[in-house]
Amino acid sequence: MKYTLPELPYSTEALAPVISRETIEYHYGKHEKAYIDNLNRLIKDTEYEDMELEEIITSSTGPLFNNASQAWNHIFYFFTFSPTGSHEPEGHLRKAIDEQFGSFENFKKEFEEAGVTLFGSGWVWLSKDKDGKLFITKGANAKNPLTKGLIPLLTFDVWEHAYYIDYRNRRADALHELWKIVDWDIVSSRYL
């Protein structure tokens, strides 16, 4: 077994009520664990066995891409949250958001809208290119901006499994609530 489920830097109750303990136990403890188990099974005794996870994502297709990308995406997603984090971006990232989206409030609105309008399962992303330009993108299923040469900064999971326990069918509410637990110090550190 090459990849293991990293222990979260907060307790399973720490993000409630935005994300409940039950959701963390299922979404991270069961769904994410399954992606990692599948990834390990699919790379065993193949050319992918000694690759970095990002390299597998940018060089594979089909079930291997799906499981590798989902394994990466969920770690990235859950490691963006904190019960005590900074609620607004500062410094270079704040400046870039204000310049490109008009304001932080407007950025959040556009990001939520991208997530709400994604049909079916997938992810909404904030990424940057090599020049620091920001992009809001959405992608179906396991899609990840790494495959387009972008550097991900923030993602919200819009698969139903991410919100159905806590919000039932109310995806827009689920996405809107997530801002309360995004740690912008973590997102900003990815921008540098």
Binding site for Mn ion (CB under 5 A): 157, 159, 162
Q: Which is nearer to Mn ion, 93 or 174 (CB)?
A: 174
CA atoms within 13 A on the CB side of 2: 18
The answer to whether residues 82 and 92 touch, using CB atoms and an 8 Å cutoff, is: no
Q: Which is nearer to Mn ion, 74 or 128 (CB)?
A: 74
Shortest reach from residue 108's CB to Mn ion, in Å: 21
Shortest reach from residue 121's CB to Mn ion, in Å: 8
Shortest reach from residue 159's CB to Mn ion, in Å: 4
Q: Which is nearer to Mn ion, 112 or 157 (CB)?
A: 157
Instruction: Take residue 180 and report the two structure tokens written for it.
Output: 């309360």
CB neighbours of residue 120 within 10 Å: 9
- In three-state secondary structure terms, 11 is coil
- Chain position whose Cβ is nearest to Mn ion: 157
Question: Residue 135 contacts by C-beta under 8 Å, 6 or more apart in sequence?
Answer: 125, 126, 127, 128, 129, 145, 150
Q: Which is nearer to Mn ion, 10 or 78 (CB)?
A: 78
Shortest reach from residue 25's CB to Mn ion, in Å: 13
Q: Report the alpha-carbon distance of residue 123 to residue 115 in Å, rounded.
A: 7
Shortest reach from residue 123's CB to Mn ion, in Å: 8
SS (H, E, C) 129-170: CCCCCEEEEEEECCCCHHHHCCEEEEEEECCHHHHHHHHCCC
Q: Which is nearer to Mn ion, 28 or 111 (CB)?
A: 28
